[in-house]
Amino acid sequence: MVLILGIIYVFSIVMTGWGKKQVQKCDEQGGCEEEKTFDEEWGSLENSALSLMQILVYDDCFSLIRKTKNQEHILVLVLLCFLVIGAFTVLNMLIGVICEVVSETKR
């Protein structure tokens, strides 16, 4: 669990930095309609972590990714990398627990 929380924390920092840049860019251009969306999803570390947890558990994750794609294409790759890394981390933890249970049952 510490590993997955560390992964979420690192990606949250990246996405929060990007979200703040987008909000500043919208402010400089006279305001954007997407500003509220960025602030809700990527505006703070807590919001970014919550959005990444939503992506990790596949709760309407591709709507978040599509909204991000409309603004910055490279961050779609970042989010897909997060999705793959997070999914494999959770999968490996689950396999580890199953192997531990099987080895204890065998004894």
Tell me how far apart the alpha carbons of residues 53 and 60 are, in angstroms, rounded to a whole number.
Answer: 11
Check residue 40 and give its pLDDT.
Answer: 80
Check residue 36 and give its pLDDT.
Answer: 63
Check residue 37 and give its pLDDT.
Answer: 67
Check residue 81 and give its pLDDT.
Answer: 94
Q: At what angle do helices 2-28 and 35-42 cross, to 10 degrees?
A: 160
Tell me how far apart the alpha carbons of residues 53 and 69 are, in angstroms, rounded to a whole number.
Answer: 18
pTM score over 0.95: no
Check residue 1 and give its pLDDT.
Answer: 84
Check residue 22 and give its pLDDT.
Answer: 73
The parts of the chain modelled with pLDDT lower than 50 are none
Check residue 52 and give its pLDDT.
Answer: 92
Fold annotation for 2-106:
Helix Hairpins (1.10.287)
